């Protein structure tokens, strides 16, 4: 018979070994490392691809280093030392737009999924407007808000809103009816059913919508900053393309991808903390 206490045995079963975590982490870098290696080799001696159109990773890293750590205000390189400020501008806009989408989309999605009257009132309009792409809203945003931050925030919130509200609605509609019957037998009021049954049961779908919406929010901030404002990563990307600085363009794209990845991991972390009760039920 084993001397390991039951609680310790359960902890050993649920906690993955450090080697397993490192193995999973390292596997995710194999394809990017291989692609970077092939990209650098294909650049040849001139350090560029496709007749100088696409710079190699070495040139991109050099451009990003100057963009991030170079002296600000260098006359020959207007991007020098501006990476941090532009990243902050874009991140703030994503946070504001995404927060606005959550504040409207989650409560509305719960109500649409839970109430037939609310569904009949709001769902047709949402499904009608949802296929319109963010780019189609650009002229409307500029006409209404001008070249200002709120125009970008509006587009970001609009892009993130639809996946959040649709996934939340589906989660509220899929609540196990046995839970509802059990709560009613215990004397739960409609308010308690909404906040203590429907909302917790819909949380997995809510987080799915948040992750999809966050990805669209980063897409929307780049689109909006290309036209609606004069700062941020989207503005730098378009300006660098216009003057032929493809090394800065690719460095900008990589920066956007990393910021999107980090923010997605943050959502996943919060999800794991808030939905720990589901993992306990599954065990």
Q: Model confidence over 30-64: pLDDT tens digits?
A: 887 887 777 777 665 555 555 567 788 888 899 99
241 contact partners, CB below 8 Å, separation of at least 6: 249
Residue 81, Ramachandran bin (φ over 0: left; ψ between -120 and 50: alpha; else beta)? left
> What is the C-alpha to C-alpha distance for residues 114 and 197, in angstroms, rounded to an integer?
11
85-144: pLDDT as tens digits: 999 999 999 999 999 999 999 999 999 988 889 999 999 999 999 999 998 998 888 888
Instruction: Report the percentage of the chain scoring pLDDT > 90.
Output: 43
Please count the CA atoms within 13 angstroms of the CA of 40 that sit on its side-chain side.
11
Q: How far is CA 112 from CA 117, 165, 171, 173, 201, in A?
A: 8, 9, 10, 8, 15
Contact 182, 124 (CB under 8 A): no
Instruction: Give the tokens for residue 96.
Output: 């504001």
89 contact partners, CB below 8 Å, separation of at least 6: 225, 229, 231, 232, 233
Higher pLDDT, 16 or 191: 191
Instruction: Give the tokens for residue 78.
Output: 């207007």
Residue 163 has pLDDT above 70, yes or no: yes
Band of the pLDDT at 6, cuts 50, 70, 90? very low
> What is the C-alpha to C-alpha distance for residues 258 and 276, in angstroms, rounded to an integer?
27
Residue positions counted in the chain = 283
Q: What is the pTM of this model?
A: 0.81
222-281: pLDDT as tens digits: 988 988 788 899 999 999 999 889 899 999 999 999 999 999 999 999 999 888 766 655
For residue 114, the model assigns a pLDDT of: 82
Residue-wise DSSP of 4-61: S-HHHHHHHHHS--HHHHHHHHHHTTHHHHHHHHHHHHHTTTTTEETTTTEE-HHHHH
Residue 219, Ramachandran bin (φ over 0: left; ψ between -120 and 50: alpha; else beta)? alpha
For residue 19, the model assigns a pLDDT of: 57
Average pLDDT of the segment spanning 199-216 = 91
104 contact partners, CB below 8 Å, separation of at least 6: 157, 161, 165
């Amino acid at each position: 018979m084993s001397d390991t206490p039951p609680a310790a045995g359960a902890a050993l079963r649920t906690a993955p070994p450090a080697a397993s975590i490192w193995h999973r982490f390292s596997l995710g870098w194999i394809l990017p490392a291989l692609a970077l290696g092939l990209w650098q080799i294909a650049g040849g001696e001139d350090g560029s691809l496709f007749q100088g159109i696409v710079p190699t990773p070495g040139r991109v890293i050099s451009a990003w280093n100057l963009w991030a750590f170079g002296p600000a205000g260098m006359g020959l390189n207007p991007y020098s030392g501006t990476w941090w400020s532009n990243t902050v501008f874009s991140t703030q806009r994503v946070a504001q737009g995404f927060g606005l989408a959550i504040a409207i989309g989650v409560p509305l999605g719960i109500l649409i999924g839970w109430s037939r009257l609310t569904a009949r009132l709001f769902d047709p309009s949402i499904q009608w407007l949802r296929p319109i792409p963010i780019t189609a809203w650009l002229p409307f945003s500029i006409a209404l808000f001008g070249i200002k931050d709120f125009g970008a925030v509006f587009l970001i919130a609009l892009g993130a809103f639809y996946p959040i509200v649709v996934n939340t609605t589906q989660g509220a509609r899929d609540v196990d009816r046995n839970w509802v019957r059990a709560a009613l037998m215990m004397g739960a009021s409609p308010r308690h059913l909404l906040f203590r049954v429907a909302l917790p049961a819909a949380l997995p779908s809510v987080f799915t919508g948040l992750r999809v919406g966050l990805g669209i929010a980063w897409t929307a901030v780049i689109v909006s900053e290309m036209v609606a404002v004069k700062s941020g990563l989207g503005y730098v990307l378009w300006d660098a393309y216009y003057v032929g600085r493809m090394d800065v363009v690719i460095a900008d794209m990589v920066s956007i991808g990393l910021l999107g990845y980090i923010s997605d991991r943050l959502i996943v972390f919060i999800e794991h903390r808030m939905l720990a009760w589901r993992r306990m039920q599954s065990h």
